[in-house]
Chain A
Amino acid sequence: MNLFKPSEMFVSATADSDMALEGKRWRKETYDPAAQGITDRKKFVTDTGIAIEPLYTPAHLEQIGFDYLRDLGFPGEYPFARGDRPGMNRTEPFVVSAYSGFGDAEACNRRFRRLVEIGTEQILVALDLPTQCGYDSDHEMATAEVGNVGVAIDTLADIEILFDGIPANSIKRIGTLGNSIGPIVLALWAALGEKQGIDWSRYTVNLQNDPLKEYIARGTQILPPAPAAKLATDAVAWCVEHAPNWSPMTVCVNHINAGGAGSSMGTAIALSNARHYIDLLLAQGYTIDQVAPLLHMFPDERHDFFVSIANLRALRRIWARMMKETYGATRPEAMACRTTVYGHGQEALAEPLNNITRTAYGTLAYVLGGASYIYLAGYDEAVSTPNENSARVQLRTLQILANEHGFTDTIDPLAGSYFVETLTAQVERQILDGMAQIGSIGGALAAISTGFARRVMTEGAVRRQRAIDSGDRPWVTVNMWPQQPNVPNTAFRGDAKAVERQLARLAQVKATRDAARVKEILAEVDRATAENRNVVPCVLDAVRAYATVGEIVDVWRRRFGGFVPSTDF
């Protein structure tokens, strides 16, 4: 399998229109003589394998058969290439978002209050690894991990403290990743509203809740893929019935691209995963018009600025056509692809302050590409959970992008660019080819079980490493002006007492809750699971009774068995 074929993606103006002939003449008479004898200073190929030409002209638009009304249309209208919302950033700039969490709920609550004070409009709670993997803080597998890469959440008591003084409706959205524990985190957010006396219709919860990509890239999978996907769709189905204003699933390219797939194949894999979830929901009798508006996509490209813009535009067009033509959607909300992004660049360990510049440029591409919800990586994120100073810089960078420089004054500002339109068509072709390839092997689950996705990832990661080692991919302070990488121990380490407090709180909750009631409800969760019912209603009851995350997950572990880690590389 060779996914990296730059030559095939090379768009050359072979048509013999006047424009194409003029372009060829310029190349031959003016550019080539000037470039003669000069060695290319780098490989002019994108990370996704598209060769970049010295110049783009109207001949390239002829080459791709560019048709404005068919290919772009207008913002907020089919095929949504220019934007999923009518006014985009001009009427309402993207939502300034923060991904944050560490230690225990008490320590983390202080950080959250600070984030809201300085203008954060959405908080996505970073959970620690034991929580994400369905282990309570007192489990052996949680050793040395409690509160490390996120906040520890064992029961509803932790969520109550985490959002103490921050009403669920005081910011635009709250949520978390919870990829392998989707129904549980959904229930925790629903129960928070009940505790705070705020109706579900009056706040918005966003979850990642995309377990399939965990098997491919991120690694917090708990169960075998098929039941994991079913449980994730239960969260979506519950929202269709009870909280249609929430966004309970964000299908991710992010980790798949970062892990090696590249943004085009990563988008193809993510869209195939989305199709799997959608098909499960349609099989339960929901309609595409009910389901699609609740889904978000999480695109990602961190190597090539213009590819990032092209990817967002191509993704919206593919999504719209897929919803309308493949699934027969009729509501515009079902065809408009909402996007969440997380701004990155090629962050380096050496001289980490440079990462502020890198991530700002990476994020600018997302702004120009029209993303709706934007997060930004901290300059120290490669090392640790961002410290408070870094969190402030993240937020201010987003606010600057939203308000200064005129970046957000007009909609889809690069539309019509010979280069950007050509690249958008090329990226779209790569994504559609990837989807066809996955379709031909049997879809999302087969991409995991046959090892297809894993091969794509490893090959891509090896290719990237070689490009860095050889200097083909320039990287300042790494292969240009190289500096010693340094991980300073000023890295944020949180509060040493947090683990003690967490364990004490968990013990206290277990000692004071109605143990018989918990046992009874956990049995009901097991019955609902066995009968293939939607598990969210009884998981919500379990959460209300202060059952722990680990106890609920254990029900599923017993029922489905655990995942078997692959030893392929």
Chain B
Amino acid sequence: MSVSASEQPRRRKIRVLIAKIGLDGHDVGARVVARGLLDAGMEVIYTGLRRTNEEVVRAAIEEDVDWVGVSILSGAHRVLLPKLRKLLNDSGASDVRILAGGIIPQEEIPELQAAGVDKIFLSGTPIAEIADYLVKETKHV
């Protein structure tokens, strides 16, 4: 009996790298999201504070993640997020998708999405909403 692709069991759990890029030291949100996604049954790795884009890309590839979730509250997202997308693509990891969270003005969201950030969750988003999004959007393979 054949089953459609969407009904096939997932090959593995969803893998997420939660990353802090740059000097922003506020990581409570990042850790709460990491804990929430772990509780939701995903495999979660946290980079710790103050990573460069290069370090994050290396970790994403080594850990073979589906998603990189970046938390930025300092206002540096307009420079750092497009750069992360480019570095992932240049390293052959264009299939790794990017989530961003933190303090990001509404008006800047289209620009970030055009630069290859898949989804932006503002501060205050319930964890369940993020988990649901990842379950729905992660490719079934």
Contact = CB atoms under 8 A, between A and B. Distances in A.
> A and B from one assembly?
yes
B87 interface: no
Contact of B27 (A219, A349, A486): A219
Contacts of A462: 32, 35-36
Size bin of chain A's contact surface: 35 or more
Contacts of B124: 348-350, 478, 485
Contact of B28 (A142, A144, A260, A491): A260
B60 interface: no
A148 B32 contact: no
B28 A457 contact: yes
Contacts of B47: 565, 567
A131 B58 CA distance: 27
B104 A487 contact: yes
B24 A219 contact: yes
Interface string A211-222: 000100111110
A214 B35 contact: no
B74 A469 contact: no
Interface stretch (B7-15, B76-84, B89-97, B132-140): B76-84
B111 to A, nearest CB: 10
A488 interface: yes
Interface string B102-136: 01111110000000000000111111100000000
A226 B133 CA distance: 43
Contact of A565 (B18, B32, B48, B106): B48
A567 B47 CA distance: 6
B19 to A, nearest CB: 11
A144 B106 contact: no
Contacts of A143: 22, 76, 79-80
Nearest to A464: B32
Given A214-B25, A219-B24, A461-B28, A469 B48 contact: no
B34 interface: yes
B48 to A, nearest CB: 3
B74 A218 contact: no
A488 B48 CA distance: 29
Interface residues of B, number: 43
Contact of B79 (A144, A384, A488): A144
Given A565-B48, A568-B46, A383 B103 contact: yes
Given A489-B107, A569-B46, A144 B22 contact: yes
Given A129-B24, A141-B23, A148-B75, A567 B122 contact: no
Interface in A486-511: 486-489, 491, 493
A210 to B, nearest CB: 14
B74 A148 contact: yes
A133 interface: yes
Contacts of A354: none
A131 B110 CA distance: 31
A12 interface: no
A23 interface: no
B122 A485 contact: yes
Contacts of B32: 458, 461-462, 465
Contacts of B22: 129, 141, 143-145
Interface of A: 129-130, 132-133, 135, 141-145, 148-149, 214, 217-221, 258-260, 348-350, 382-384, 457-458, 461-462, 465, 469, 478, 485-489, 491, 493, 565-569
6 contacts: A141-B22, A383-B105, A458-B35, A565-B47, A565-B50, A567-B48
Given A149-B74, A348-B124, A384-B103, 11 more contacts: A129-B25, A129-B74, A135-B23, A143-B76, A144-B76, A144-B78, A148-B76, A218-B25, A478-B124, A488-B106, A565-B49
Those 8 A-B pairs whose CB atoms lie nearest each other, nearest first: A219-B25, A565-B48, A144-B79, A129-B23, A489-B105, A144-B76, A569-B31, A489-B107
